[in-house]
Structure formats: C-alpha cells, structure tokens
Structure 1
Amino acid sequence: MIGRIVRSADFERVLGTPAHARSVHFAVHYLRAGPSGVRKSTSAPIDTKLSTGEAPEQGKPVDESLQAPPSGCWLGAVVPKRHARRSVTRNLLKRQIRAAAVAQASLQAGLWVVRLRSPFDRARFASAASDALRDEAGRELSRLMADAVRHAAVA
C-alpha cells in the first residue's frame, strides 16, 4: 500500500532533490527516507523550579542519514493551478498520478513526488476532464514512473 505525503516539510525535502525522471509535462522526485514524524506536545506538568542538573537526552539522531532506511512508500502529487486552471483537471491528473504509482509494482520504499511542470495544450484537450486527456496523461505517467523506478534502482 502507498501512503500519502501530507506535510509541507516532506514535500520541500523531496522537491529539494533533483528530478529522477522527466517527461514533457511531469517530473518525478524521489528521496530514500520516511516522512517526518508528527510533533506531539508533552502532557507532563511543567516544573517551575530552576534546576542546575543535567539536561535529559533526547535519544534522536540529528542527521537523517543515521536513521533506519524507510519501510514504506509515500506519494505526493503537485499539480499547480497555473498549469491546470480548473479543479476538474487538477483532480483528474492527481488520480492518474496515484493510479500510475499503484500500477508500478517495483516502487522502492521512500518518498515520491510527481509534479506537473507544464500545462497540457488547451486547444488539443478542450474539455477539462476528457477521455483523451485521461488517456494521454495515463500513458505519459506510466512511462515516466517506469523510468523513475529504473533510475532509483541504479542510484
């Protein structure tokens, strides 16, 4: 099963890496790491007394490279409004991105982000959610994800 990236910090981390594969309209970014944890507030009562004793150790590594390798796949889709003005088109493209990722059986563990980098031609695809647009995006994304998986396996 593929999880969804929801935190903006995770998107920024992955998009900070170079693209693993590119096509005419999309780019795939990959980072071999897990999503950042959710910070929880402490429920312990706050001690108002001053202490000169030693600070408790957190026990968490500072560098992410010291952590264990990721154990699952997480996918994020970036479809900016400037490239797909109508929400129908943005939702169609996000569904196609998720379907292409699920169809890739050999998707490696880590964070994957697929980004729409250029708009589809409005003259060629007049309807916001046409079957032609769905088929074209699906074909392009399946080729792109296969290239990205090959590139990630080599790296």
Structure 2
Amino acid sequence: MQRLKTRPQFQAALAGGTVSRTSHFALHRLNLTNPTDKPSATAEPCVPASSPEQALFGLFDVWLGAMVPKRWARRAVTRNAIKRQIYNVSERFCDRLPMAAHVVRLRATFDRQQFISATSEPLKLAVRQELEQLFERASRSEVRP
C-alpha cells in the first residue's frame, strides 16, 4: 500500500467520489487504470498516462491518504491518533481494496463530552470500530461484478 503525499494526489482522489460513509468518516476513491493493459510492442519506457489524474500515481497499487481537519479534531494529538488508526485499520483491508487512490476523511467531530481525553481508549475504540465499518462497506461494494 502506498501513501498519498501531495495535495494534487489528495484532490484527485477526493474528486473520484464517495464510496462509503459512516457518521464520522467518508471514504473517497479514484479508480486507477493499469498501464500494462496497453500494447507493449510500441510502448516507450515512459508511457503517458490516460488522464492527468493517472499521472499523479506512478505505481499501479492501492494508495491511501488520511484527512483529519483541524475543524473536526482541534488537538494535534487527537488528529495524529486518528490518522494512526486510519493507517492501521487500512492495512487489514489492503488485500480487499481495489487498485485505486483512497482518501479517508473525518467529516464530523467526536463529542468532547463523551470522549474527554484526546487519546483515551474509548475514543480509540470508537474510531477503530467506525473505520472497520467504513472499510467493510467499501470492500463489500466492490465485490459486485
């Protein structure tokens, strides 16, 4: 699994559309086309991509990025903990995700009355359960022919 690093990569993946949503998270996906599907007899070492978005992703692999805006998670320690959870949970679902660029985006805040500490175990558990639900829904939607 590759990680998204640049702003254009994130923007392209977000433009791909939402494939799964929970109360706090949304999963966006941009499907990538395999460059080896083209005839290789006349192919040059550097084959131009079929679209500008495809050019952003050098490898045909599963790409993942995490967006945790300050608007929904004020403390840096909370944002970092949520990002760690996103990357850890996504590793379990890597083999079930299609070859595409994915972005997991936090879209709502976790209630500070319920989760007082920025890195409490109940918050980590709630985030993990919701992320598993998000990826499970996304992997089920991809199973259809």
Instruction: Please indicate the TM-score interval, normalised by the length of the shorter structure.
Output: 0.7 to 0.9
Identical-residue share of aligned pairs (%)? 36
1:95 corresponds to: 84
Does the Cα contact within 8 Å between 1:32 and 1:109 map onto a contact in 2?
A: yes
Does the Cα contact within 8 Å between 1:11 and 1:113 map onto a contact in 2?
A: yes
2: CA distance, partners of 1:75 / 1:63: 19
The one-letter code sitting in structure 1 at the alignment partner of 2:28 is H
1: CA distance, partners of 2:120 / 2:54: 47
1:25 corresponds to: 24
2:48 corresponds to: 60
Does the Cα contact within 8 Å between 1:73 and 1:111 map onto a contact in 2?
A: yes
How many pairs does the alignment contain? Answer: 129
2: CA distance, partners of 1:11 / 1:108: 17
**How many angstroms does 1:65 deviate by?**
9.2
2: CA distance, partners of 1:3 / 1:93: 18
Alignment of 1:71-150 (within 5 A): 71-104=60-93, 105-150=95-140
- TM-score, scaled to structure 1: 0.75
The one-letter code sitting in structure 2 at the alignment partner of 1:92 is A
The one-letter code sitting in structure 2 at the alignment partner of 1:142 is E
Return the structure number with greater helix share.
2
Does the Cα contact within 8 Å between 1:75 and 1:111 map onto a contact in 2?
A: yes
Does the Cα contact within 8 Å between 2:15 and 2:30 map onto a contact in 1?
A: no
The runs of 5 or more residues in structure 2 that have no matched partner are 34-45
